[in-house]
Amino acid sequence: MLRWPTMKDKVVVITGASSGIGAALAKVIGERGAKPVLAARRERELGEAARAAAPDALAVVTDATKRADVESLVHAAIDRFGHIDVWVNNAGRGITRSVAELTDEDFDEMMLVNVKSALYGMQAVLPHFRELGRGHIVNVSSMLGRVPFAPQRSAYSAAKHALNSLTANLRMELREPHPGIHVSVVHPGVVATEFGLNALHGGVDSRQMPYAQSPEEVAAVIADVIERPRADVYTRPGAEQMIIGYYSAEDMGHAETQPPFARPKP
Q: Which of 120, 156, 234, 246 is catalytic?
A: 156
Could you tell me which residues come within 8 angstroms of residue 238 by beta carbon, excluding any fewer than 6 positions away?
Answer: none
Q: What angle do CA 105, 165, 14 make, to 5 degrees?
A: 75
Asked if 130 contacts 181 with a C-beta cutoff of 8 angstroms, the reply is yes
Q: At what angle do helices 104-111 and 154-175 cross, to 10 degrees?
A: 40
User: Cα 74 to chain center, whole Å?
Assistant: 18
- What are 38's strand-pairing partners? 14, 59
CA atoms within 13 A on the CB side of 229: 18
246 labelled catalytic:
no
Active site residues: 156
